[in-house]
Chain A
């Protein structure tokens, strides 16, 4: 029966291609849009996950996500360091600033100030220069995408002069880092340099990065810091999800992507269901003849499931293939850098496609099962 099922399906090439197109389209739209959505949401937390040395982030209790800065008193650093179980705690500046280029143009940047001694928080994957150039108070490291945005020719090895709030600054290093939700170039200096170059204000300490002693659970340490200092202390994972959830709750991004994904599923399902239905209806007389000569409903079910299975596997494979090709081709594009087709997305899409196909054939199968074989005698 499997051979007959496949011959019936492949014999009607136009409908076969139509069915595969429907499944491919639905797969592509769902997998690609979910991947982009996941990539964008990951970017909202990349500023957190890229600081790999820290286990706990300490901040003002009012902070809801990583790009929101509520400065703390400098003395809070000492308070945190005094909590039992803290191996080290360092200041971490994060804020927006405007730099002036030699041609007089200005550019907004994300200014990161890392601990002068440990350089915790500074990107590690250098593609030009050394990390410790930032110890020079007039030197900076910039991320690769930011560098190319400002200096598109990409001559990474040549130092680039800047001016930040009337302070001379020279870019002497370029590093790869995970792109963040804000697309401004990321400029790394030391914490002290950041304090010098940013406008004076009473408090300027946005974050404290903490590492626990060996054997110390980050969750327990974060809880203890909160209890003893009154500050908000979150593990990297907790802060990551707090930031992602903020964007999920407070922006239209998830709704927008959700609608696109749903439309993809609905259109794909509609194309697949309609084509499958027409395919079955046009073969109804043949199905009736098969029933008349002794083919059982179970055998017809296997025929339809085989046809649907083949269409599903090919359509899903093509859809996933096109999605992977899309991300392969665009992997160097800054707008899509770091976006990936994860295995979980492939698995989720496979389940969704299986549901779409099963729902599609349910309509058709009902007709086949209820089919009275006597219709073959009705001319």
Chain B
């Protein structure tokens, strides 16, 4: 089973009375046990594509299946459940709640699924410990460095054991060393054969962490490379 399979994806956005097409016939399969990077210049449609692949936006045309489930047939509330139970998200700006501790932030998907906060936070603490955040679970986001906050975001993406992890520019707000450390963690996660990691980035310093690179330009997928091949290209 592919982690994500999408065919002929197109997306239109209304602009005044007109509509503008930002994605044109994108097709690919994302495999389990791999880290796939979606790369390309700003404005090429990467964010729109991962929003569609993770069930946040709906494609204007085409078919998407995530972890064997067709998004085309799902209603909005079913997509919310899919995101909550089977997809983990890591955002460029971390988007942690400033009033919650690291463990409570990481526990958010479990709380959304109905688990009590203290119990969920305990579970999240174990995940945090596993990614080098031992003893940091009770700290507030403002007491953590950027790299530590991104680790909290990684724990939040992992805490409910999802099959797909979607990362949007995970190293954009980090220095090179911290970015590499964060990518090391994501790399380890991607080695799990029951999981796929999809990373959107234009940070060429981290391309070598990928198993596969999909290149986008002007709303189209224009290449599918192994990292070495991509560098040569």
Contacts and interface: CB of A to CB of B under 8 A. Distances in A.
Given A4-B104, A378-B47, A379-B169, A294 B95 contact: no
B126 interface: no
Contacts of A81: none
A49 to B, nearest CB: 54
Interface stretch (A19-27, A30-38, A234-242, A284-292): A284-292
Contacts of A291: 80
Contacts of B109: 293-294
A6 to B, nearest CB: 9
Interface stretch (B110-118, B129-137, B182-190): B110-118
Interface string A1-33: 101100111111000000000000000000000
Interface string A265-300: 000000000000000000101101111111110010
Given A373-B56, A374-B57, A293 B97 contact: no
A294 B112 contact: yes
A165 B97 CA distance: 81
A11 B99 contact: yes
A7 B50 contact: no
A378 to B, nearest CB: 7
Interface of A: 1, 3-4, 7-12, 283, 285-286, 288-296, 299, 372-374, 376-379
A295 B156 CA distance: 13
A3 to B, nearest CB: 4
Contacts, number: 94
A293 B108 contact: yes
B91 interface: yes
Contact of B93 (A9, A283, A285, A292): A285
B100 A4 contact: yes
A10 B97 CA distance: 12
A4 B117 contact: yes
Contacts of B96: 286
Interface of A is mostly: helix
B215 interface: no
Nearest to B98: A11
30 contacts: A1-B112, A3-B111, A4-B108, A7-B100, A7-B104, A8-B97, A8-B99, A10-B99, A11-B97, A283-B97, A285-B95, A286-B97, A289-B89, A291-B80, A293-B88, A293-B89, A294-B80, A294-B81, A294-B85, A294-B112, A294-B113, A296-B80, A299-B112, A373-B56, A374-B47, A374-B57, A376-B91, A376-B93, A378-B47, A379-B93
A4 B84 CA distance: 17
A119 B103 CA distance: 79
Interface in B164-189: 168-169, 172
Given A286-B96, A290-B112, 6 more contacts: A1-B111, A283-B97, A289-B95, A294-B81, A376-B95, A379-B169
A376 B77 CA distance: 19
Contact of A292 (B56, B98, B113, B169): B56
Given A296-B80, A377-B51, A4 B95 contact: no
Contacts of A11: 97-100
Contact of B108 (A283, A290, A377): A290
B83 interface: yes
Given A8-B99, A10-B99, A377-B50, A293 B156 contact: yes
B191 interface: no
B92 interface: yes
Contacts of A12: 98-99
Contacts of A374: 47, 51, 56-57
Contact of B112 (A286, A288, A295): A295
A377 B91 contact: yes
